[in-house]
Amino acid sequence: MIIKILFLACAVAAANAGALVSPVYGAPYSYGAWNPYSSYPAQPALASQQSNTYRSPFNLGQVSTYSKSIDTPFSSVRKADIRVSNPGVAVAPAYSSFAAPYVSHVGVAAPIAKVATTGGLLGVAYSPATTVSHMTYTNGLGLAYSCGDNEDSWILYKERPEWSDVTPVPEDDGPNPVVLIAHSEKFEDVYDYFRAVLQKNEMSERALELTKDAVELNPANYTVWQYRRDLLKALGTDLRPELDYVEAIIKNSSKNYQVWHHRRVLVEWLQDPSLELGLTGDALLQDPKNYHAWQHRQWAIKTFGLYDKEMDFVDNLISEDVRNNSAWNQRYFVVNNHLGWSDISVQKEVCYTLEKIKFVKNNESAWNYLRGVLLHDKRGISGNSIVTSFCEELYKNKCRSPYLLAFIIDICDEAIKKGETSSFHNADRAVELCQALANKYDRIRSKYWNYMCDKFKKYQQNETHKDDNIDS
């Protein structure tokens, strides 16, 4: 009887497995009688992701690379992106690939990638940008089919009737250029005409549109941005759409100094910072340590007094990642420039920081912030009993974080200089901790700790001489 029940259960399971519904792409279609999903157990996906940024000397240009892959038994996904903000470098378009379902026959059309029907991200009138420049689908049978980016729609400026009155100005690299940059035809065309209008100081709508094409090719070109600002001012252009335009570029190139500076100038002209906290907040969600976003946020807050909700914003970031050094820095910025360092404020920040250290004891950001707060404590590092007791309690409980040991050494150092040494905080204790750091807990900085150890040994010798003099 049990065997019959098991056989019946297996039959029901097999029937249900064969009834899987195929996905639909635009119009329904069938995969055929055999469904591969019913023949294989669920398998985990294998994924990998990598990103790098290479910067030239003096940060004049950069190359950002990003790649991601996901593999399953039935499909494969590959995405790669290369972005160059080095003037004149021609780079192949980014390729993104999406998996198509494993099919049992070859007579199935690939799902069609949707493309934008309006202008591109940068609003270029002559070159509407597609959402995906190139797509490749692969499946378990080894079939592949793709749709590529077509640049035939781009019209060179030299072929546009409305630009026939302008003589392009080629780039002058001198008679013997050391390195010739492989400009694309489009790049040369755009920048030849850009140099022409720049030399003539032409103030026109067409020149303003030209700067968009120039920015798309090299968003880090500061000359293009400066000329664009001159055009905006001369033409009396409505700056609200310009804010939207710059926001789109920031989302695509969030670590570009020139675009953030352009945004600052626009806000200064408008005297309206209402969008800046939201914009920088979005940028920091993507990269919580984006220096340019933090710099712009601090400028907007300090210039327009937008401190009210900043501590809540920072507290959320620290709660999400207690090691976020940028968020700790922003907290110091708010207290230092707005709340002030009264005794109550100092103790409040001390207690807040100690709670975060309890959570992650080996967190350099929190220990550094504690040092910064105690700079405003009249009693100093060694005079705050809450801090010293906290440190000794951690040490007593076998915590040997190098940041804790280094902090206790600082307490000892200050106590020695003030002449307020104790059984816990003195030169002998400092020597012991320096040796522990150099030999075990922070060996990468062993030379520094050995240097500090020698310094405290001199203190020991001075104390010994004083004792000898007193005895004699």
Catalytic residues: 255
Which spans in 290-443 are helix H? 291-304, 310-320, 325-334, 343-359, 364-374, 380-383, 385-396, 402-418, 427-436
How far, CA to CA in Å, does 260 sit from each of 115, 295, 341, 353, 404?
29, 9, 31, 32, 39
How far, CA to CA in Å, does 409 sit from each of 236, 324, 405, 425?
62, 25, 6, 8
Q: If phi over 0 gives left and psi between -120 and 50 gives alpha, with beta otherwise, what is residue 108? A: beta
- Shortest CA distance to 387 belongs to which of 351, 336, 341, 345? 351
**Among all chains, which residue has been given the structure tokens 């001075």?**
462
Query: Which residues lie closer than 8 Å to 446 by C-beta, 6 or more apart?
Result: 437, 438, 439
| Token pair listed for 390 | 């906290």
| Token pair listed for 402 | 């190098």
- Shortest CA distance to 280 belongs to which of 307, 300, 303, 306? 300
- Cα–Cα dist 171/190, whole Å: 11
- Cα–Cα dist 23/101, whole Å: 9
What is the torsion angle, in degrees rounded to the nearest 10, for the CA atoms of residue 171, residue 172, residue 178 and residue 179? Answer: 0
Q: If phi over 0 gives left and psi between -120 and 50 gives alpha, with beta otherwise, what is residue 130? A: beta
Per-residue exposure over 218-254, b if at least 16 CB sit within 10 Å of its own CB, e if not: bbbbeebbbbbbbbbeeeeeebeebbebbbebbeebb
Counting DSSP H helices and E strands in the chain, the numbers are 17, 6
Number of CB atoms found within 10 A of residue 363's CB: 19
How far, CA to CA in Å, does 287 sit from each of 132, 271, 280, 284?
23, 27, 10, 5
Q: If phi over 0 gives left and psi between -120 and 50 gives alpha, with beta otherwise, what is residue 369? A: alpha
Cβ burial of 323 (10 Å; 0-12, 13-18, 19+) is middle
